[in-house]
């Protein structure tokens, strides 16, 4: 089919104003928050499942790739149209369809912004727990696609632990339902396979999410350290004592300085590292738990523990943490966020090795991460225009992921594989493992139309 005819047919499905194909539009949809770039052939903004299904059926007939896109904040190249094709952008499908408090579920379309839902739910005393630091902009569809985590996922689990069901558009435009409102569903756990599949198995047009009641009380502390090792050892010690705080986040000196310059959260500029430790739950017993944590911090040579005395002070501490990626962008024109996970007892050893990688390649590396989950985010700072530096950054990033894999960890805690970490899949999976995943992909996607060039290395 001629390109113009294809575009005209898309216009007939979603309406002419919701099909974008000017050079400028295609360039804008050619990148995300990773370092990769591509270009789609056309972008559509559907308003309903029926419209998505119509677009997909047409793309299938024409053998055109289809790439689902939320807000494009993923950090692994997950929305880059590497082989052209149709980008389906979900900004119009952003309705909260049903809040069912008695059954503790909410049904949403994929384009809902994560924080919008969370703010609305909190007013009704409920929480949707996964809270990526990008929640102000990220969509629930994107969170689903990446199996996103966030500071509160230490206690509550990542996205997959909070998705009960989905509506899925298949490769030929047929629509199926997976899971449902009940906690247990017979048959194969298709929802489980879909969460984190990065748009490579189909497109989700509705999701049923699990709600939990908002905690009665919250206590937030900032523990300040003169050594990264002491901060890391505190993390393992807290969990080893049987305490699971809602969050255990770490920032090192480079990040603290950048955040202070940008967000003014009141962090100490001379500390080697800080931990943000948050407890939540019943008021009863919280003081005692906080006291236990203070004792553990003291045993690991904490310099000072500050307690947020008001909601405003708590919000300030979190504004700093959640603004950290943006803040480091002021230091150098570009940064690469690595996303490896290690058993938390390995944190001190692995962080030492990360620092050594920075020295080896002469690149500044800052660390801001979900320490409680052992989920590291070394931020390698550089200038993308300097091709030599860019090549060094890719090598350094791969080396850091190898260090994580060798320490018994893995190559992504929450940011996915996308295009960026395809080569590194072999650090943690055998050829047979990957081949079996290819068979699953083929069952969902016989002609490789769903987000091609992502997650799996070519056979
Ligand atoms: C400053 C910053 C901080 C961040 N902090 C965190 C963090 O704390 N935790 C974390 O996990 N991530 C974090 N991220 C990464 C990113 O925000 C998350 O991966 C987020 O879930 C992506 O949402 P999005 O709407 O931007 O999705 P997109 O980037 O648009 O898409 C992500 C993936 O999901 C697929 N997808 C999108 N919609 C659908 C759909 N309807 N059906 C099927 N597949 C779909 C896409 O094809 C793609 O593969 C951060 C990113 C930035 C820039």
The CATH number covering residue 374 comes to 3.30.70.2740
User: For residue 24, what pLDDT is reported?
Assistant: 97
Please indicate whether residue 29, judged by its CB atom, sits closer than 6 Å to ligand 1: no
Query: Where residue 223 sits, what CATH number does that domain have?
Result: 3.30.70.2190
Last residue of a domain, one of 48, 67, 89: 89
- For the chain, the average pLDDT equals 95
Q: Mean pLDDT throughout 59-75?
A: 98
196 C-alpha to ligand 1 centroid (Å)? 10
Please indicate whether residue 139, judged by its CB atom, sits closer than 6 Å to ligand 1: yes
Judgement on whether residues 320 and 352 belong to the same structural domain of the protein = no
Confidence of residue 329 (pLDDT cuts 50, 70, 90): confident
Please indicate whether residue 451, judged by its CB atom, sits closer than 6 Å to ligand 1: yes
pLDDT at 99 over 90: yes
Answer yes or no: are the C-beta atoms of 225 and 307 closer than 8 Å: no
Rg (CA), the chain: 22
242 C-alpha to ligand 1 centroid (Å)? 32
Range of the domain at 225: 217-326
397 C-alpha to ligand 1 centroid (Å)? 20
Judgement on whether residues 279 and 173 belong to the same structural domain of the protein = no
Per DSSP (E only), the strands in 139-291 are 163-169, 175-179, 203-210, 212-213, 217-225, 247-252, 273-281
73 C-alpha to ligand 1 centroid (Å)? 5
Atom of ligand 1 nearest to the CA of 145: 34
Instruction: Please tell me the pTM assigned to this model.
Output: 0.95
316 or 70: which leads in pLDDT: 70
Residue 459 CA: distances (Å) to CA of 67, 437, 438: 21, 11, 8
- In the chain, the percentage of residues whose pLDDT exceeds 90 is 92
303 C-alpha to ligand 1 centroid (Å)? 36
Please indicate whether residue 325, judged by its CB atom, sits closer than 6 Å to ligand 1: yes
Please indicate whether residue 134, judged by its CB atom, sits closer than 6 Å to ligand 1: yes
Please indicate whether residue 70, judged by its CB atom, sits closer than 6 Å to ligand 1: yes
C-alpha span between 218 and 280 (Å, rounded): 4
Please indicate whether residue 88, judged by its CB atom, sits closer than 6 Å to ligand 1: no
Digit-coded pLDDT (tens) for 417-459: 999 999 999 999 999 999 999 999 999 999 999 999 999 999 8
Please indicate whether residue 109, judged by its CB atom, sits closer than 6 Å to ligand 1: no
Judgement on whether residues 359 and 307 belong to the same structural domain of the protein = no
C-alpha span between 400 and 290 (Å, rounded): 34
Answer yes or no: are the C-beta atoms of 430 and 359 closer than 8 Å: no
Judgement on whether residues 110 and 126 belong to the same structural domain of the protein = yes
User: Is residue 143 domain-resident?
Assistant: yes
60 or 329: which leads in pLDDT: 60
Digit-coded pLDDT (tens) for 149-180: 999 999 999 999 999 999 999 999 999 999 99
User: Is residue 273 domain-resident?
Assistant: yes
Atom of ligand 1 nearest to the CA of 148: 11
User: Is residue 171 domain-resident?
Assistant: yes
Judgement on whether residues 342 and 376 belong to the same structural domain of the protein = yes
Judgement on whether residues 206 and 225 belong to the same structural domain of the protein = no
Q: How many domains does the chain have?
A: 4
CA-nearest residue for atom 13, ligand 1, is 132
Last residue of a domain, one of 326, 343, 360: 326
348 or 96: which leads in pLDDT: 96
Judgement on whether residues 168 and 107 belong to the same structural domain of the protein = yes
User: Is residue 412 domain-resident?
Assistant: no
Digit-coded pLDDT (tens) for 342-394: 998 899 899 999 999 999 999 999 999 999 999 999 999 999 999 999 999 99
Residue 52's CB: how many other CB atoms inside 10 A?
A: 27
Atom of ligand 1 nearest to the CA of 135: 17
Confidence of residue 184 (pLDDT cuts 50, 70, 90): confident
Confidence of residue 1 (pLDDT cuts 50, 70, 90): confident
pLDDT at 182 over 90: no
Percent helix, strand and coil across the chain, each to the nearest 5: 40, 20, 40
CA-nearest residue for atom 16, ligand 1, is 74
Last residue of a domain, one of 57, 89, 121: 89
Query: Where residue 116 sits, what CATH number does that domain have?
Result: 3.30.465.10
Confidence of residue 147 (pLDDT cuts 50, 70, 90): very high
The first and second tokens of residue 312, run together, are: 């405003």
pLDDT at 194 over 90: yes
Judgement on whether residues 25 and 80 belong to the same structural domain of the protein = yes
Q: Mean pLDDT throughout 98-109?
A: 98
Digit-coded pLDDT (tens) for 107-128: 999 999 999 999 999 999 999 9
Please indicate whether residue 110, judged by its CB atom, sits closer than 6 Å to ligand 1: yes
Please indicate whether residue 77, judged by its CB atom, sits closer than 6 Å to ligand 1: no
User: For residue 281, what pLDDT is reported?
Assistant: 94
Q: Which of 320, 310, 324, 303 is nearest to 266 (CA)?
A: 320
């Amino acid at each position: 089919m001629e390109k113009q005819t294809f575009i005209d047919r898309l216009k007939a499905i979603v309406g002419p104003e919701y099909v974008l194909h000017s050079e400028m539009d295609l360039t804008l949809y050619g990148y995300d928050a990773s370092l990769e770039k591509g270009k789609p052939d056309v972008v559509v903004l559907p308003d309903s499942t029926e419209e998505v299904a119509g677009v997909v059926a047409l793309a299938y007939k024409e053998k055109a790739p289809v790439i689902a896109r939320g807000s494009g904040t993923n950090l692994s190249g997950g929305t880059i149209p590497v082989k052209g094709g149709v980008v389906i952008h979900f900004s119009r499908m952003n309705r909260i369809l049903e809040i069912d408090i008695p059954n503790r579920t909410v049904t949403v379309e994929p384009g809902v912004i994560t924080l919008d839902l969370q703010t609305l739910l909190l007013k009704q005393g409920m929480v949707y727990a996964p809270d990526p630091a990008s929640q102000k902009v990220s969509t629930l569809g994107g969170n689903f696609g990446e199996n996103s985590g966030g500071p509160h996922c230490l206690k509550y689990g990542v996205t997959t632990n909070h998705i009960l069901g989905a509506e899925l558009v298949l490769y030929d435009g047929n629509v199926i339902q997976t899971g449902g409102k009940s906690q247990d569903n017979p048959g194969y756990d298709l929802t489980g396979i879909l969460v984190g599949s990065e748009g490579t198995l189909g497109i989700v047009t509705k999701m049923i999410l699990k709600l939990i009641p908002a905690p009665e009380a919250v206590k937030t502390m900032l523990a300040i350290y003169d050594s990264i090792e002491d901060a890391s050892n505190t993390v393992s010690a807290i969990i080893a004592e049987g305490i699971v705080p809602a969050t255990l986040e770490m920032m090192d000196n480079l990040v603290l300085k950048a955040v202070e310059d940008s967000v003014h959260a009141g962090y100490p500029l001379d500390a080697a590292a800080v931990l943000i430790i948050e407890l939540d739950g019943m008021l009863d017993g919280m003081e005692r738990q906080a006291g236990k944590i203070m004792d553990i911090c003291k045993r690991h040579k904490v310099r000072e523990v500050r307690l947020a005395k008001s909601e405003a002070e708590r919000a300030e501490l979190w504004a700093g943490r959640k603004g950290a990626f943006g803040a480091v962008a002021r230091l150098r024109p570009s940064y690469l966020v690595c996303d490896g996970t290690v058993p938390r007892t390995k944190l001190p050893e692995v962080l030492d090795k990360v620092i050594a990688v920075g020295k080896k390649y002469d690149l500044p590396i800052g660390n801001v991460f979900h320490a409680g989950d052992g989920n590291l985010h070394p931020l390698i700072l550089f200038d993308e225009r300097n091709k030599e530096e860019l090549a060094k950054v890719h090598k350094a990033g791969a080396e850091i992921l190898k260090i994580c894999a060798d320490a018994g960890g893995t190559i992504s805690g929450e940011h996915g594989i996308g295009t960026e970490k395809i080569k590194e899949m072999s650090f943690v999976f055998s050829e047979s493992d990957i081949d079996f995943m290819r068979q699953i992909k083929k069952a969902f996607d016989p002609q490789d139309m769903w987000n091609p060039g992502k997650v799996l290395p070519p056979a």
